[in-house]
Amino acid sequence: MVKKIIALFLAVLCVFAVGCTGNPREKSSSLDVKNTSNTEKRKLIIDTDTAGDDAVALIMAAKDKNVDILGVTVSAGNVKLNQAVDNALMTLEIAGSNAPVYKGAYKTYNGKERKTFSVFGKDGMGDQGLIHPKRKAEKKSAVDFIIDTVKAYPGEVEIVALGPVTNLALAFDKDKKTMKRVKKYWSMGTCGFGKGNASPVAEFNVYHDAPAYKVLAESGVPITAIGLDMLSEDSQFTKKELDEYKKKGGLFEFVAKAYSGLLAFNKEARGAEFGDIPDGEAMACVLWDGYLKETKPCHASVMTENNDAYGQVILFQKDYGYDSGIKFKEYNFNVAYKTDSKVFKEKLEDILSK
């Protein structure tokens, strides 16, 4: 009897010991699951007019394990709407992403078109026969998708605008209250504190639809804008690099061919074969910790009059002592001032190799 009691006591003691210490692998596994569940992915909506640099940005986001692309909304800009939609679908397909794509605005916010053209070729992707997507766009409109998604995830969704912001302006018109519940707006737009490309004072995305950009800038929502002045030689593609990309195949070849139109344009218009990556650098500011090193809070005034200043965004810096004494209530427009551009191509090449 005594032996049975001792045996039972020892058995209970063993069970208790295992329960307290546990199997090391099981404990590690339990912690891993807990960490995974607590690490939520960032929720992004990407608004684009899909040309070559937009494609680079889409690939970067699609390959980021910390990001959930809730949807890609498309507007006309670099190219017409249907072409831009197909370009987005094809880019996501080759990047291995099934993120849904939604058709948006086929014309500007006020219906008035300004003469612009795609420096990336007629199809926006180098005219290399790259675009033959298997999927089609969703039936829901881009504006309705944006509003419905923000309603579903209030305070969680970040919107990354890589092109003209026509879709966003229309969404503000339809439901401003919901659009103010976006966690953060990112915009590849304006010249920053530098010069323009669509005109001496205007950047293409703003120039294509300045009235729409005015709606966004004056909405009071927190916006981080990455301007043209953030582009540097460190992050430009050279012809030699893109020739090497073609030989590597896969995403490297896709990007190289998409950029062939821009190289040809720059050679003719600017006397040098290179390809800058504004949307890619904007996406790096969104995704990569420490890449965006400094911003300056500003008030943004968007010029929409039909004159030489059309599309210019005048940036009034907070706490700057202007001689006129001008001040504003809101300085919601945070302009990129410094990035770690030297690491851009190395990081991008790592992404393209995956």
Give the pLDDT confidence of 71-91 residue by residue, as tens digits. Answer: 999 999 999 999 999 999 999
pLDDT level of residue 35 (50, 70, 90 thresholds): very low
263: left (phi over 0), alpha (psi -120 to 50) or beta: alpha
pLDDT level of residue 115 (50, 70, 90 thresholds): confident
Instruction: Using alpha carbons, select from 51, 190, 49 the residue that is nearest to residue 107.
Output: 49
Measured CA to CA, the distance from residue 133 to residue 227 in angstroms comes to 31
Handedness of CA 71, 75, 78, 81 (dihedral sign): positive
Q: How many CB atoms lie within 10 A of CB 100?
A: 17
pLDDT level of residue 272 (50, 70, 90 thresholds): confident
> Are the C-beta atoms of residues 46 and 69 closer than 8 Å to each other?
yes
At residue 276, the 3 state secondary structure works out as coil
Asked if residue 113 has pLDDT above 60, the reply is yes
Q: Walk me through the domains of the chain, giving residue ranges and CATH numbers.
A: 40-237+274-352 (3.90.245.10)
Q: What is the pLDDT of residues 216-267, one digit of tens each?
A: 999 999 999 999 999 999 999 999 999 999 999 999 999 999 999 998 888 8
The set of residues, in sequence order, having a beta carbon less than 8 Å from that of 309 and lying 6+ positions away, is 201, 303
Measured CA to CA, the distance from residue 68 to residue 238 in angstroms comes to 31
Higher pLDDT, 7 or 209: 209
Instruction: Using alpha carbons, select from 59, 57, 53, 60 the residue that is nearest to residue 78.
Output: 53
Measured CA to CA, the distance from residue 80 to residue 65 in angstroms comes to 31
Q: What is the pLDDT of residues 310-353, one digit of tens each?
A: 999 999 999 999 999 999 999 999 999 999 999 999 999 999 99
DSSP 227: -
Max distance between CA atoms of the chain, in angstroms, equals 104
Strand order in 333-339's β-sheet?
A: 101-103, 67-74, 42-48, 157-161, 184-188, 223-226, 333-339, 292-302, 313-317
Q: What is the pLDDT of residues 168-201, one digit of tens each?
A: 999 999 999 999 999 999 999 999 999 999 999 9
Strands, DSSP E only, in the chain? 42-48, 67-74, 101-103, 157-161, 184-188, 223-226, 237-238, 274-275, 292-302, 313-317, 333-339
Least confident of 62-76, 108-122, 274-288, 340-354: 108-122
Percent of the chain whose pLDDT exceeds 90: 83
The set of residues, in sequence order, having a beta carbon less than 8 Å from that of 112 and lying 6+ positions away, is none
Measured CA to CA, the distance from residue 183 to residue 168 in angstroms comes to 14
Measured CA to CA, the distance from residue 283 to residue 270 in angstroms comes to 26
Instruction: Using alpha carbons, select from 182, 351, 172 the residue that is nearest to residue 277.
Output: 351
